Amino acid sequence: MGNLFWIGIVAALVFGFWVDAFSAYQYHHFNETEFSLLEAQEQAYSSLFGRFPLMVGLTLIQSAAAKGAVCLDGTLPGYHLHRGYGSGANSWIVNLEGGGWCNDVRSCVYRKKTRRGSSTFMEKQIPFTGILSNSAEDNPDFFNWNRVKIRYCDGASFAGDGEHKAAQLQFRGQRIWLAAIEDLMSKGMRFAKQALLSGCSAGGLATIIHCDEFRGFFPHTTKVKCLSDAGLFLDAIDVSRGHTIRNFFSGVVGLQGVQKNLPASCTNHLDPTLCFFPQNLIAGVRTPLFILNTAYDSWQIQSSLAPSSADPRGYWHDCRLNHAKCTASQIQYLQGFRNQMLNAMKGFSRSYQNGLFINSCFAHCQSERQDTWFADNSPVVGNKAIALAVGDWYFDRAVVKAIDCPYPCDNTCHHLVFR
């Protein structure tokens, strides 16, 4: 009966936000106006494709308020923790939740009335799938680790520290990050022999920003690495030759007081906004880092490269929703975006300790969805699924620098298609 209840909850979550199913398994259809909810429901969606998902309860960080470590609306931050066992009892994955950003007072005021800005609206239980799964069959290398998802309720990739008194907004992402880590340390993470910081999208960017800081919480004897999934947001020029994403990030950094929490190795020679772009940070990350990204990231195509604001005549409308409807010249433009991504990682990829998995798919976030992380028909590069590539890299079983051939050569993709 309990399982039936949770199936109902998961199904309601999914179909409440995604009005279409998919006509072929590899092509997942969404309503364009609901794309911003993609990250929010990744786990619920993926759970429908596997066994009953593990549901993990929300823990509010009671000590956070005294540190001023609060969500946008002043409520307590939280996380979901599922304990490890056996050989994984002293190993920890800390996953930073994604979910976009807010770049002005109006968007942050809206955000504080959602689960992305207030623990009042957070789900009390969420499914753990993909890299957070407790099934050896679904997550072969990390299933029995201590697995944590830190909820995202600040809107600046856990990096801001400021406030807007008139609008009653608290920008305390950096404090939330520190309060969560401190709380987890008190619950046994200080004894970790192995640790992995991960995150998807805005959480993937947060992983890059905080990677070396995370390393610093542990003794040198602890093996510590970081995994950024769909976090490689490029400082790209949009289809109208404008800087949509740079202007957006400038609002996030300026409003939320992010500058002081960005690496000084970047801010001492670049504008703070440019230091919110991973391409200007990854070369300075000293801790082993794995970058998992699609070469044609769906979020970046829709919100950075070809947003409706940069495409007033709608030339990109169909292509933005469905890559199969792109013209030859549009595909050529997107190949240029892929080239920019690969060029941004050239120096990073030369380091022996770093890992790469860049597949030629139109998707966004692949580590927390079961169908893309590890399943019978998961995406592969060189016959290796993402879960195996990450595991090989983390445990030093192999050097992993997997870069796919350009679209349309990969027939293992789980493309996202929007209505």
Q: Which residues are catalytic?
A: 201, 297, 364
What are the DSSP E strand ranges found in 265-353? 289-294
Contact of 295 with 406, CB cutoff 8 Å: yes
Cβ atoms within 10 Å, residue 307: 19
Q: In DSSP terms, which residues pair with 403 in a beta bridge?
A: 358
Taking each helix axis from N to C terminus, what angle separates 173-186 and 202-216, rounded to the nearest 10 degrees? 50
Between the alpha carbon of residue 12 and those of residues 214, 249, 340, the distances in Å are: 36, 33, 39
What are the DSSP calls for 203-253, one per residue?
A: HHHHHHHHHHHHHHTS-TTSEEEEEEES--------TTS--HHHHHHHHHH
Integer-rounded Cα Rg, in Å, for the chain is: 20
Closest CA relative to residue 133, chosen from 58, 50, 256: 50
Using alpha carbons only, what angle is made at residue 91 by residues 88 and 93, rounded to the nearest 5 degrees? 115
Q: Which residues contact 110 (CB under 8 A, 6 or more apart)?
A: 102
DSSP state of 269: T
Residue type for position 81: L
What length is written for the chain? Answer: 419
Q: Torsion angle, CA of 62/67/71/73, rounded to 10 degrees?
A: 100
At which residue do the structure tokens 């006509």 appear? 23
At which residue do the structure tokens 């975006």 appear? 337
